A and B are shown apart, each in its own frame.
Chain A
Amino acid sequence: MRTPRSLTIEITSRCNLRCRYCYFFNNPEVVYRDLPTDEWLTFFDELGSLGVMTLTLAGGEPFIREDLPVLLEGIVRNRMRFAFLSNGTLIDDEIAAFIAGTGRCEHVQVSVDGSSAQAHDSCRGEGSFEKALRGIRTLQRHRIGVTVRVTIHQHNVHDLENIARFLLDDLGLPDFSTNSAGYMGTCCVNADEVLLNVEERKAAMATLLRLTEKYPGRISSSAGPLTDGRMWRRMEEARAQGKPAFHNGGRLTGCGCPSNKISVRADGAIVPCNMLAHMELGRINHDSLAEVWQNSPDLNQLRTRHNISLAEFEFCAGCSYIPYCTGNCPGLAYTLTGQVDHPSPDACMRRFLEEGGAIL
């Protein structure tokens, strides 16, 4: 690809909430500063000239930006589409009508972590559940696509059945996705109170695998207990039956993002991904994005990560899952080990089993 097809842009470093597992805040390697409107508009012109197709607007909380309509006009003018990652609490009729009027919104992803205020607000703060629901209903009224992300943590892990019923049956959403609180940012500070322990991970996997049978095709994930549960089941089956290595197994293939997309932090630093926010590749409106995309040594090195064999790591020595393992997310590998080119201990199946986990 000559240029990225899509970008994730943290258009603000501000947020009205302070979630206890937030990956975004409390990262010592990130500068929390917002860019003025003009800087973003100049950058959107560059993206338009590069043929970028879609922007995912994240933060912080993107709806906190007072100049959001002007920014969206800049995106529309440059023939791009957009999506949001939001906590939903600041969405009102006025902005929803504006978004609907552009005809360019792919969807708004709203975080909902519980079937009741008690579970949701436990990590996101009092009143946030009701406000998030109000945001969802506002979007629905304006016929804007809504997707919901459930982040699983200690306080909602036993509410998953109710959450599925609430989102799919009561709210009538077509589907929702899940992940779990990960060891990043604010979550590192509150790890003992939010991160799932082995027993809770086991319970989450069992419940989610059961729920995917009850609601076929309506619960998805790209990380977290559902992804681990599915992947580890396949890995265990392959190992037990002595199957040949998976086509992507045995090497650090767990992340294909750097070849498809790129991210920009709220302060304008270009980074490979929001999960690798420390890895500054350049700066918008100072460095050409096409140049960074094609020639950044760090980015190109990240793209060759898939050639690194898991057998090279002491961490993996003697592991019988090597032929089936992908090493998973480099972002979590970095926060947990200090190295990007390392398997992520968080998604290590052997470690999970050694700590008392089981494959269901």
Chain B
Amino acid sequence: MKQTDRPIANPIVVLREEFDDWAVLFNADTAAAVGTNPVGVAVWKLMDGKRDIEGIVSEIKNSFEDTPDASGEEIAAFVGILAENGFVGMEQDSN
């Protein structure tokens, strides 16, 4: 088994989407919660273990108009924070 660079959402984490387009990610095992904006929600939904960060960034750029150039770094930082807090892992490759 080899770790890939494709992030995958921890299935224990709950995504609570609120009316104002903001959302809360809640890790029931640790009680940690993170608030996020609509771009964060879209990133979260794309973390299925099939795309690397670059792939996620390009999908986000396609779906959101006016995504600033810095968004690639911001998305990587966001995924990094989620990974540090156990919200996200990296897909394992059996090949």
- Which residues of A approach B to under 8 Å, CB–CB? 1-3, 5, 51, 53, 76, 79-81, 103-104, 106
Contacts and interface: CB of A to CB of B under 8 A. Distances in A.
A53 B29 CA distance: 11
Given A80-B28, A81-B28, A53 B17 contact: no
Contacts of B19: 1-2
Contacts of B17: 2, 51
Contacts of A80: 28
The 5 closest A-B pairs by CB, nearest first: A51-B16, A79-B28, A79-B14, A51-B14, A53-B26
Contacts of B1: none
A359 to B, nearest CB: 39
A5 B29 contact: no
A81 B26 CA distance: 10
Given A51-B14, A51-B16, 9 more contacts: A1-B18, A2-B19, A3-B16, A51-B15, A51-B24, A53-B26, A79-B28, A81-B28, A103-B29
B78 to A, nearest CB: 20
Interface string B1-28: 0000000000011111111000010101
Contacts of B18: 1-2
A352 B49 CA distance: 63
Contacts of B70: none
A81 B12 CA distance: 11
A1 B35 CA distance: 13
Interface in B20-74: 24, 26, 28-29, 31, 33
Contacts of A104: 28-29
B85 to A, nearest CB: 16
Contacts, number: 33
A5 B28 contact: no
Interface centre among A1, A5, A51, A76, by most chain B C-beta atoms within 10 angstroms, is A51
A5 B24 CA distance: 10
Interface centre among B12, B15, B17, B31, by most chain A C-beta atoms within 10 angstroms, is B31
Contacts of A2: 16-19
A53 B28 contact: yes
Nearest to A3: B16
A130 B12 CA distance: 39
Contacts of B14: 51, 53, 79
A51 B24 CA distance: 9
8 contacts: A2-B18, A3-B16, A51-B26, A53-B14, A53-B28, A79-B28, A80-B28, A104-B28
A1 B31 CA distance: 19
Contacts of A103: 29
B31 A106 contact: yes
A3 B14 CA distance: 13
Contacts of B13: 79
A350 to B, nearest CB: 39
Contacts of A5: 16, 24
A72 to B, nearest CB: 13
A104 B14 CA distance: 14
A81 B29 CA distance: 8
A3 B26 CA distance: 14
B9 to A, nearest CB: 12
A264 B92 CA distance: 42
Contacts of A51: 14-17, 24, 26
A79 B12 contact: yes
A104 B26 CA distance: 13
B36 to A, nearest CB: 13
A1 B18 CA distance: 5
A1 B23 CA distance: 10
A308 B12 CA distance: 42
A53 B26 CA distance: 7
A81 B17 CA distance: 18
A76 B12 CA distance: 10
A80 B27 CA distance: 9
A116 to B, nearest CB: 35
A81 B16 contact: no
A306 to B, nearest CB: 19
